[in-house]
Amino acid sequence: MTVVRAEFPSLRGYLEENLSPAERRHIGLISFNQWTFALGAVIETALEARALGSDVTVGLWADETPLRDPGWRASRRIARLLGSRTRDENAHRALLAAGLPRECFAAPPLRRLDTAAIPELPMRITRSALRSLAYRGSDMGRSILQVHPDDDTPIRESYEWPRRYVELAVRSYAWAFDQAQELIRRRGITTVVVYNGRFTHDRAVAAAAQQLGVRVLYYDTGGYETDFDLTTATTHDWADLQRRMLRMYEGWDPSERDEVGSRWFVNRQTHADVNNRVFTGIQRRGHVEGVPDADRLVVYFSSSGDEIVELDLDWADYLHSQERALAELAEAVRARPGTSLVVRTHPHMRLKPADDLADWMAAVEAAAPDLHIDPSSPVDSYALMQQADVVFTYGSTAGVESAFLGRPVAVMGPSAYDLLGCATRVTSADQIRPLIDNPPTPHPEAAIPYGLMMERRGFTFAHVQGRGEEASLAGIRLAEASELTLKVSDAMQSRRISRLTAR
């Protein structure tokens, strides 16, 4: 069996390097989801921390929260009634079998929620109104905005969120915050480990720990060829991520780093990447049509707005919004004879709320490009990149992929590659025209660290055997609950959300 080299050779070494002896004294892991990779990260961290001599507390609380987490899949109660077990129950059994003492597991310590600190909701629950909500001094509102009530919830400010849903989301955040603080105090936890810190409950736990001066680590998905990641920085600290990319590339074997890093790009260009088929599945490889015959072709690749709207940034540094950035680009192109603008709307937009798609289409119409390629078009994004004389984007992965193909790239929004040297960052409208007239020199080699990170970030399992549905520990499969359990749990959750979102 070939051992894949990961970004970090050892989780134990990583914990020793990044946590002081005092921070390693008692590591607490609180989980709200039932995903295989996430439970694998909890298992690996708990066992490696224990091997380091740390006290360990594990809270598998996916089935405890007032509002179910996005990573919740099945009810423990329903599973038991149907003679099944949820995945996190199997993880619990496996950890016990692997030698983790029973006393390391913790149930939520508080029986009741103190509602006195829960803020009163505003009359109109818009995004800005939600964003302003705080709980015990922590930034509660942004975490709630990361978890939409349903797939039709738009990011437009005029939309009013359903009151009953928000009331429960607020209670759920408060519940996770208070339970985490009480657990930390009772057990003397010195470092807390949570999933990436984006969703409501994980963000509440991170805030609760930080308020007590306790260190926080975040686990997440690994690379395409690795199993999981564990970081000292939050998921959307893209500057930290890029520094990691550069360190990783610099420290990798020069005889293989370019091959491994390039493989990620090539698999996407050839539509071989199964994880990217939600985007490329509707595209015909090599197909391009309707592109203007111009002296200079500027191609704009849009980003999914809902994925960046709640980043805590000064948006004045990013031309205030994607719509404003596109308008400025279109104006600059119109002022250049012989220059044409093509806008490629992100294929993911076809799966987004109808209101968000309508808002973006209105922005494109106002920009009046020479060609708009809509999200359902069979045009191959990679073939389109190759025809561009200069690529602009608001931070889409298409930017770094265009750079790898040797295209000049200008990025106008937040991205995870603007510090690598493969793209030029645009911070004001007056920088756009010079980049059209004199596109920056391409540096395709500077994109490769991005691909290397995507392939090999994080760690490989040292204790868990296999991946996905075949993952196991101590001979116990980390299997999903039965299909009937999943079906009943999903139906119950769907009915509950319907009641909470009914107007």
* Span 137-180, pLDDT tens digits: 999 999 999 999 998 999 999 999 999 999 999 999 999 999 99
Q: Considering the chain, what percentage of its residues have pLDDT values greater than 90? A: 91
Phi first, then psi, for residue 127 (nearest 5°) are -60, -45
Q: Are 175 and 65 in contact (CB under 8 A)?
A: yes
Phi first, then psi, for residue 411 (nearest 5°) are -115, 125
Looking at the fold, whether 489 and 387 belong to one and the same domain comes out as no
Question: 65 by DSSP, 3-state: which?
Answer: coil
340 located within any domain: yes
Measured between alpha carbons, how far apart are the two ends of the chain, in Å? 56
Q: What is the mean pLDDT of residues 303-325?
A: 85
142 located within any domain: no
pLDDT tens digit sequence for 14-48:
999 999 999 999 999 999 999 999 999 999 999 99
Q: What is the CATH number of the domain that holds 405?
A: 3.40.50.2000
pLDDT of 281 reads: 86
Is residue 1 scored above 60 in pLDDT?
no
Cα radius of gyration (the chain): 24
CA atoms within 13 Å, Cβ hemisphere of 48 = 21
Q: Where are the beta strands (DSSP E) in 389-447?
A: 390-393, 409-411, 424-425
- Compute the distance between CA of residue 73 and CA of residue 88 in angstroms, rounded to an integer: 10
Higher local confidence (pLDDT), 94 or 236: 94
pLDDT tens digit sequence for 246-260:
999 999 999 999 999
Q: How confident is the model at residue 375 (pLDDT cuts 50, 70, 90)?
A: very high
Question: 274 by DSSP, 3-state: which?
Answer: helix
Looking at the fold, whether 333 and 429 belong to one and the same domain comes out as yes
pLDDT of 2 reads: 66
- Compute the distance between CA of residue 151 and CA of residue 156 in angstroms, rounded to an integer: 14
Is residue 294 scored above 60 in pLDDT?
yes
Looking at the fold, whether 410 and 477 belong to one and the same domain comes out as no
Q: How far is CA 411 from CA 52, 134, 237, 442, in A?
A: 44, 33, 17, 13
Question: 316 by DSSP, 3-state: which?
Answer: helix
pLDDT of 361 reads: 96
Q: What is the mean pLDDT of residues 186-196?
A: 97
Q: Are 137 and 86 in contact (CB under 8 A)?
A: no
Q: Residue 134: beta bridge partners?
A: 139
pLDDT of 35 reads: 96
Q: Are 161 and 167 in contact (CB under 8 A)?
A: no
Looking at the fold, whether 353 and 468 belong to one and the same domain comes out as no
Task: Identify the DSSP state of 380.
Answer: -
Looking at the fold, whether 469 and 357 belong to one and the same domain comes out as no
Q: What is the mean pLDDT of residues 52-72?
A: 97
CB pairs under 8 A, 24+ apart, for 316-323? Answer: 317/427, 318/394, 318/412, 318/413, 318/414, 318/427, 319/412, 319/413, 319/426, 319/427, 319/428, 319/429, 322/363, 322/394, 322/412, 322/413, 323/359, 323/360, 323/363
Q: What is the mean pLDDT of residues 270-279?
A: 89
Question: 297 by DSSP, 3-state: which?
Answer: strand
Looking at the fold, whether 25 and 107 belong to one and the same domain comes out as yes
Place of tokens 């069979």: 378
Containing structural domain, residue 343: 271-454
Q: What is the mean pLDDT of residues 63-91?
A: 97
78, with CB counted inside 10 A (0-12, 13-18, 19+), is buried
Looking at the fold, whether 422 and 476 belong to one and the same domain comes out as no
Q: What is the mean pLDDT of residues 290-313?
A: 88
Compute, in degrees rounded to 10, the torsion defined by CA atoms 3, 6, 8, 13: -20
Looking at the fold, whether 184 and 316 belong to one and the same domain comes out as no
Q: How confident is the model at residue 197 (pLDDT cuts 50, 70, 90)?
A: confident
Residue 105 tokens read as 């597991």
167 located within any domain: no
Taking the complete model, does pTM exceed 0.75, yes or no?
yes
- Compute the distance between CA of residue 305 and CA of residue 7 in angstroms, rounded to an integer: 30
Looking at the fold, whether 206 and 349 belong to one and the same domain comes out as no
In the chain, the number of structural domains is 2
42 located within any domain: yes
CA atoms within 13 Å, Cβ hemisphere of 318 = 19
Q: How confident is the model at residue 278 (pLDDT cuts 50, 70, 90)?
A: confident
280 located within any domain: yes
pLDDT tens digit sequence for 397-453:
999 999 999 999 999 999 999 999 999 999 999 999 999 999 999 999 999 999 999
20 located within any domain: yes
Q: What is the mean pLDDT of residues 474-498?
A: 97
Looking at the fold, whether 296 and 211 belong to one and the same domain comes out as no
Nearest by Cα to 422 from 393, 444, 391, 440: 444
Is residue 235 scored above 80 in pLDDT?
no
pLDDT of 198 reads: 83
* The residue type at 297: L
Nearest by Cα to 321 from 429, 435, 418, 436: 429
Alpha-carbon torsion 257, 260, 262, 264, what sign?
Answer: negative
Looking at the fold, whether 42 and 95 belong to one and the same domain comes out as yes
Q: Considering the chain, what percentage of its residues have pLDDT values greater than 70? A: 99
Is residue 66 scored above 60 in pLDDT?
yes
Phi first, then psi, for residue 18 (nearest 5°) are -100, -10
Q: Cα angle vertex 329, ends 328, 330, to 5°?
A: 90
Is residue 72 scored above 60 in pLDDT?
yes
Which residues, at least 6 apart from 476, have a Cβ–Cβ distance to it below 8 Å?
90, 93, 94, 97
- Compute the distance between CA of residue 25 and CA of residue 250 in angstroms, rounded to an integer: 32
pLDDT of 408 reads: 98
Is residue 321 scored above 90 in pLDDT?
yes
329 located within any domain: yes
pLDDT tens digit sequence for 91-109:
999 999 999 999 999 999 9
Q: How confident is the model at residue 279 (pLDDT cuts 50, 70, 90)?
A: confident
373 located within any domain: yes
Task: Identify the DSSP state of 459.
Answer: B
Is residue 349 scored above 60 in pLDDT?
yes
pLDDT of 173 reads: 98
Looking at the fold, whether 190 and 276 belong to one and the same domain comes out as no
* The residue type at 276: N
Q: What is the CATH number of the domain that holds 77?
A: 3.40.50.620
